[in-house]
Structure 1
Amino acid sequence: MPPCARRFLFVLTAVAVAQGFPADAAAQSLLRQTPNIPDGLAAIPWNLSVQLPLRLTDTPADGVALRDVTTLSFILALPLRLSVGGRYSPSSTVVKREIGELELFGRFLAFEQDSGSPVDAALQVGYNTVAGSLDGELRVSRRFGPLEIIGIGRGMTDAFGEGEAGLAAGAGVVLRPLPGSIPAALVGDALWLFTPNLDEQLVWSAGLQLALPLTPLSLSLLVANTQTTTLQGSTLPSDELWVGLELAFSIPTGAYFGLHSTKGESREATRVPPAEPARTERVEIEGFAFRPLRLVVPRGTTVVWTNRDKVVHTVTAEDGGFDGTVPPDRSFQLTFERPGSYPYFCEPHPFMRGVVVVK
């Protein structure tokens, strides 16, 4: 079997595996990222997010007419807006004279627009084991309705195994043309690499991101002049044009280790609120997302979810302890009586996730 066929079979297998998870194994959605600027923002604590990019080029090399590069990306979200992860590409040629690439990293979400900050800001620090390089990225973004603008700066102590440090800066755009009706985004980015020993220094990509209703998957169809999604791989420009797809989903690993509430706990901890609740916090359902994604409240707080989209959503506990249907321009509310972590999702759109943390 040709290598590219094996890679495609690998992606199809991943789809089958993801579909085997329950609906609450929702996607770490691709709707807030571009192909060369992976999302470094918030996720549900103790969920494991998986992304599988596959890129192909028809530029011949070493007697191979159609070449492909796959990358396995995994990120474990932790409390305190921290996450750790890695990316591995067995066929990457980003680092000269080496085949394969492995990056291990940690992230910290310093500021969050949903929590009242003017921007989202995340810092990533990692180590590329093949290049022997300490790499970092600062990502700052802001949403303006259906439009999100992203700016990044990157640094590498040994860029592409050449023995020299490298710097890069760039920007990305995410546009959701029908934010309340269709979970899709048009995306693009451009980066400039400040390394004088390279002939090509402009890095770019464009794509269509789709979250698939009734499934735990989100999908990207993309074109780029880069091979992989590591910091080095998404910073090194190529003379070749690469096209491909990327799949994303996540696994609620916290539920398997007792880090999330159980069904009985959710039922006992929540109740229909009184006519005039003493304390109220609000979650907006807008653009196929819960805002804020993570809400921390004291016990006895009533949480009100209001649907600003044009389609029906639900607020469904990951463990099935509570479930509410929220039509457009309507609300659903619950009072949380006991401390704990209560993850939830939207049943028709499982890539939509949120969590209420009761102190």
Structure 2
Amino acid sequence: MMERRQIIGLWKRGAARVLTTVIQVEGSSYRRPGARLLLADSGEYAGTISGGCLEAEVLRKAVWKVRSGAVVERYSTMFDDTDEVPYGLGCGGVVDLLLEPVNTPECQALLAAAERSLSGECATVVTWLPGEGKLLRRAVLAGDGELIFASEGLGEKKLSCARGLRPEETYEGRFVEELRGPQRLFVLGAGDDARPLVAMAAMMGWQVTVADGRSQLARAERFPDAHAVVVLSADQVQDLRISSEDAVVLMTHSYEQDRALLAALLPVAPRYLGLLGARHRSSLLVSEAAAKAGLPLETCCERIWAPVGLDLGGEGPEAIALAVMSEAQAMCMGKMGASRRLTPETVRRFVEEGGFDRYLKQQCAVDLAS
């Protein structure tokens, strides 16, 4: 999301030339479909489309590539130690990129939708890809399905079809994506230990609201990266309009306030609900808040992460903030699980089964096809 903010910032300055979007990946890749890079006249750019192996090549040729309009280009990031100028990282995949000039109604509509998404307005963007004599065409639909933009010549049949396409599915000749708003995080408690948490979340592009009943702490100058800082008592938490899509961290350091906030938030069941404090304190809080909310203890325990944060080790506010953000990020992205590591067995199996030879043959086939 922070990358999207940077792209929109560069676009708004008025000198952008070419927008590049990852639309398909085969094999391994550092970035997934939807990743973007925006190039400006000065050579300045925002965003990334790989781990560094494609950017230089794309930036060097992007303006020339789109001289006649949008195009789709295929790049291989397979490792090749015989190539004088390899793309660099050997990510082991094939990436399809859509390059389009910025000064078209289609690109302007996409970037405008991306800008609105930063304020929480969701949109679905359907792009009919160029190629074989066909020009790029695009439709932008609001979250409720209302048509915001459609390329000239798109008939009602195609627009009706666009409304039925799902972003997570692949369609021949079309790229479908959903532009969602930033993840919202509510930090309830404005003590000093909340400051690095707010800074880290903002760095991730999250929209952070800080709330506390203590006016001397809930001040905007103490949280310059926050979207909003409000003075709010525990019995006013409903005014924040927290939903099941949001992340919340309770860190008021007040037992009574945490209990009142927890009782109010448990029925909402935020996507992530973290409670700062020792295990014995959290256990008593959850027990009393569950009774106050009229919910079974089992249900409440399933909705709360306490003690808050992954067990990463370390001490101090910054280490706590890292642990909390790691856990919140994993939960909000649906990726909570074990760390990924190679094992000797995996490496030996790959080598013994001829995996490296197949890897090079696959690369050669891709190079010949391109």
Same fold (TM over 0.5): no
TM-score after normalising by structure 2? 0.27
TM-score after normalising by structure 1? 0.27
Q: Tell me which protein shows more helix as a share of its residues.
A: 2
Q: Tell me which protein shows more strand as a share of its residues.
A: 1
